[in-house]
Structure 1
Amino acid sequence: MPSSATIAPTRMNLSASLPLLVLALTIEAAFGYPQRFYAAIGHPVTWIGRSIGMLDRVLNREASSFVTRKAMGVVALALLLAITIAAAGLAQRLCLSFGPLGLIPLAFVASTLIAQRSLYEHVARVAEGLEQQGLAGGRKAVAMIVGRNPQTLDAAGVARAAIESLAENFSDGIVAPAFWLGVGGLPGIAAYKATNTADSMIGHRTPRHLAFGWAAARLDDLVNLPASRLTALLLVASAALDREADAAGAWRAVRRDAGKHRSPNAGWPEAAMAGALGLRLAGPRVYGETRVEDHWMGDGRAEASAADIRRALTLYRRSCRLLWTLAALLAAVVLL
């Protein structure tokens, strides 16, 4: 644990933020976000979501011009980040006023913005649905984690969608929050989650949000750049430790396919996962009534199954352990 001299109540350097990251990853992996907390007070992301919804209603006026709505989207994002960073900074200042022991409650707060445990549980339910209830069960479970129309998916499509969601959300639900927590403490991870939530809510190219959501979508692309690349490396390294995975195939798929994805970030973890498991992921798919043409990630088989979801979850858990190990090693280096 860092000495009190290394922790300033108003800011956080790496000698404090990296141990904080290790603690937060440990707490979240062990406990997740207890359901009773969610029932009683909601979740920080839902609080952020309500703020985004309010800003959307107030600032995104349909009568305004495209340019005005685009400018209002920038204003909305700036306000959201200012409020989020200020609140997180206040909480961090309060915790660190107690010295090194303040890292413990601060880690509990930070852990609520990481989703290792819940991601595993949601994806595992898709495998369980396919195994126990067939296609109907798989469709019902996968509808909880993907935006595409589940009724257009066969059993293989359901399995691929679950694995794609696992890979992409490993990047933006675990590795990216961890990265920004390690770099910027609680304000860093809170700002990231605010940006990512804004992109999820208003960053899509719908008629209402084409202009207003532009800033959120572009900033989300930017802040996810380092984590998406790191996620791919973690998956490749995890594949090298798994006799049933193909590390060389994962690396080939990343180099060949990651840049072909319509997202500047999603292709990296999806290509790594596809290559490691000998699958093809992404490709053409349907969101609502809209068919999206996208490149395939990987050159393996498209006929994925519940067993492949289980293999992906094993790779994911090993990658989470590697992320924790990397954070712990970096924390040890900065503290020595």
Structure 2
Amino acid sequence: MSEAATLLVLVAALAFEAAFGYPAWIYQRIGHPVSWIGSLIAALDRRFNRESESDDKRRVAGILSLAFVLVTVGAIAWMLERLAAQIPNGGIFIAILASTLIASRSLYDHVAAVARALDEDGLAGARVAVGRIVGRNPLTLDEHGVARAAIESLAENASDGVVAPVFWFAFFGLPGLAVYKAINTADSMIGHRTKRHEAFGWAAARLDDLVNLPASRLTGLMFAAAALFARGASPAGALEAMSRDASKHRSPNAGWAESAMAGALGFKLNGPKVYGNVRVEDAYMGNGRRDLAAEDIEAALRLAVFAWGLMIATLLFFAVILRG
């Protein structure tokens, strides 16, 4: 495909995903591409991550396992892209495939469900809803903590689940998108600093940090730009919070989106939290309000929607320019 065609296919993929998401009936019958990748990673983890081996050998095993996953996923995506080039309207086929690896609809729905639960079901229902999208212990969260957790998840996953997939597809097509999702999935499964995975998942965690670096910065800038259009939001606040707080986050990437959203909306996000029974002393992002509620989640969702709209407009602009 030409560069302009790639961008138009990408816009179509975003439109498909926003309109239909990934239908539940398809998931129930055949699963999801990410679940297929996850099954391969889990099998390699069981087979090659041997606790009897030294950390050095487990690290090498993790590197080789990750390489196998990426080559396999990339090759399948490349073959599908080549096949699509040989059929009429193949770009639509690619757009549908790409839409399965973008998560704006799913992310919006899950975060909106937390706001709805806070309004309709109270704290107990909201804890259940937020527990579906965050790793921390929801039982430690009050109403304000639930709202903050939902907004933090929205900000971080706007980068990992939307902007990064778009970025890697724009430059490397379907193989680039598929390989990115494989890296991201591997990090979520084995990229943890636990006794079992610190060595075996070392490569997955480091590579995930690297491939998310450009999208995380872009997401922060997109939130700042979107603040020009979102009611009550501050572009200057987003830029100020990013420059001050992003580098304080324990993740090299998550702080950019979280600090931008916090600064744009006048919130104070992140900070200490509990995973399981372990308290983690994270840095604060932004210097605004901590007492957030359902309406603040809705404000964050509006900002995200404006940001995604600007992203689509930018893709269309460059597609027109490249077509001459």
TM-score computed with the length of structure 2 as normaliser: 0.98
Percent of aligned pairs with the same amino acid: 58
Query: Please, which of 258, 261, 269 is the counterpart of residue 246 of structure 2?
Result: 258
Determine if contact 1:70/1:211 at 8 Å carries over to the other structure. yes
Matched, 1:56 2:45: yes
Matched, 1:275 2:263: yes
Structure 1 gaps, min length 5? 1-6, 8-12
Mapped partners of 1:260, 1:30: distance in 2: 37
User: Once the 2 structures are TM-superposed, how far is the Cα of residue 15 of structure 1 from its aligned partner?
Assistant: 3.1
Aligned length: 324
Determine if contact 2:17/2:104 at 8 Å carries over to the other structure. yes
User: Once the 2 structures are TM-superposed, how far is the Cα of residue 243 of structure 1 from its aligned partner?
Assistant: 2.8
Alignment of structure 1 residues 1-336 onto 2, 5 Å: 7=1, 13-98=2-87, 101-336=89-324
- Aligned residue identity for 1:226: P
Mapped partners of 1:252, 1:90: distance in 2: 45
Q: Secondary structure at the match of 1:286?
A: strand
Determine if contact 1:143/1:150 at 8 Å carries over to the other structure. yes
Structure 2 gaps, min length 5? none
Runs of 4+ in 1 over 4 A off after TM superposition: none
Deviates more, 1:308-317 or 1:241-250: 241-250
Mapped partners of 1:325, 1:333: distance in 2: 12
User: Once the 2 structures are TM-superposed, how far is the Cα of residue 249 of structure 1 from its aligned partner?
Assistant: 0.8
Q: Deviations over 1:203-238 (max 9, x none)?
A: 011110010000000000000000001000110001
Mapped partners of 2:3, 2:211: distance in 1: 19
Mapped partners of 1:119, 1:194: distance in 2: 19
Q: Deviations over 1:24-71 (max 9, x none)?
A: 111111111111111111100000000000010111011000000001
Q: Secondary structure at the match of 1:240?
A: coil
User: Once the 2 structures are TM-superposed, how far is the Cα of residue 94 of structure 1 from its aligned partner?
Assistant: 0.5
Q: Secondary structure at the match of 1:151?
A: helix
- Aligned residue identity for 2:138: P
What root-mean-square deviation, in Å, do the aligned CA atoms of Structure 1 and Structure 2 show? Answer: 0.9
Q: Secondary structure at the match of 1:211?
A: coil
Mapped partners of 2:304, 2:115: distance in 1: 14
Q: Deviations over 1:51-109 (max 9, x none)?
A: 0000101110110000000011100110000000011011111101126x210111000
Mapped partners of 1:314, 1:242: distance in 2: 7
